[in-house]
Amino acid sequence: MDNIHIELLEEYKYVDAICRDMLGNKKGVSAYIEQLDETPMTVRYWITEWNDEYRQLKHIRWLRNQIAHSTGSVECSQADVDWLKGFHNRLLTQQDLLAKAHRVIKESHIQGQQQLAKTVTVAAPKPGANVYRSPRGPRKSWFLIAVIAVLSILIGLLIWIANGGAK
């Protein structure tokens, strides 16, 4: 086993321990990935680095499993180790995907409550206002009456013509 493999395994152990503690789950990184899988697409959409981080984390888990369980050679680079160290740091500073997802959900909930409050405020009638009367007043009803009258005249005219008109 190369030094790079050992370094990746050591870093993975730290990340796995953080994930176990954070999620209260013995599965560690796998439980973290399961949480990512359960995150709604509408939340993922707002996190620009979601797809890259998700794929890289799954790749790192695969690498770790290959190193730990495989007898053949596994290609692991310093870039993989560096990414895992960066992910470790993002976990500690709550800049990881799940932390960002929780912030998106919290912000959307707050904005939803604020939007609901605005809607309720706008929709609430003013004290003493007649809630059954159209805000445009009687104009709408006169227009409707005029349309019905014109249609009645046209129907009457068509019936008169169909019966032979003024013989």
Domain span at residue 110?
3-117
Q: What is the pTM of this model?
A: 0.65
Same-domain status, 14 and 61? yes
Same-domain status, 12 and 77? yes
CA separation, residue 35 to residues 13, 38, 39, 82, 101 (Å): 19, 5, 6, 23, 10
Same-domain status, 55 and 133? no
Establish if 10 belongs to a structural domain.
Answer: yes
Same-domain status, 77 and 135? no
Establish if 152 belongs to a structural domain.
Answer: yes
Q: What is the pLDDT tens value at each position of the chain, 167 positions in all?
A: 789 999 999 999 999 999 999 999 999 999 999 999 999 999 999 999 999 999 999 999 999 999 988 877 889 999 999 999 999 999 999 999 999 999 998 888 767 766 545 544 444 445 655 544 545 555 566 777 888 888 888 888 888 888 877 66
Looking at the structure of the chain, the number of domains it has is 2
Question: Does the CA dihedral 84-85-86-88 come out positive or negative?
Answer: positive
Establish if 122 belongs to a structural domain.
Answer: no
